[in-house]
Amino acid sequence: MWTAENRARYDRSKLRYPSDLTDAEWELARREIPRAKRGGNKRTVNEREVLNGLMYVLGTGCQWRAIPKDLPPRSTVNFYFCRWQHDGTLDRLHHALYVRCREQAGREASPTAAIIDSQSVKSAEKGERRSIGQASMAARRSKARSGTSSSIRKAC
């Protein structure tokens, strides 16, 4: 419910960008980000700013090259995005936030029931990937046989 207390809690007008992390959000996320490895040079990048850059891209849907100049370079944000996706950091972060949201709503940390509709079951029985592939092949064949197609094949 939007009470005065909740409005103050979710107010993002004092942040640089609406996608930036608040201090409380950063404290939750910081626990899931792995520490720098031992040896080598010290990490010079600000992980909070990297996560702010990543949240900016995900929140606005902008292209990587459109990241504002006051955030870390796009190559740095993209590097950490790929690294965190590969090592499972993003999955751990998502799971931690998911559990916290469920607990705040007064539910068990993990769901105890699932609902499956009959359409999902039918797709799974037929092998959904296979049926999609066959449908797209039929569409490709019909375009290739039309009278307007070129006789020169494109190399892909």
* pLDDT for residue 129: 56
Domain ranges for the chain, please list them: 62-109
Instruction: Indicate the pTM of the whole model.
Output: 0.65
Question: What does the pLDDT profile of the chain (156 residues) look like in tens digits?
Answer: 678 887 877 788 888 998 999 888 899 899 999 888 888 888 899 999 999 999 999 999 999 999 999 999 999 999 999 999 999 999 999 998 888 888 888 888 777 777 777 776 666 666 655 545 555 455 555 444 444 444 444 443
* pLDDT for residue 97: 86
* pLDDT for residue 104: 80
Describe the crossing of helices 89-104 and 23-30 by its angle, rounded to 10 degrees: 120
CA distances from residue 102 to 8, 55, 76, 117 in whole angstroms, order as listed:
22, 22, 33, 23
**Do residues 105 and 111 touch, judged by C-beta distance below 8 A?**
no
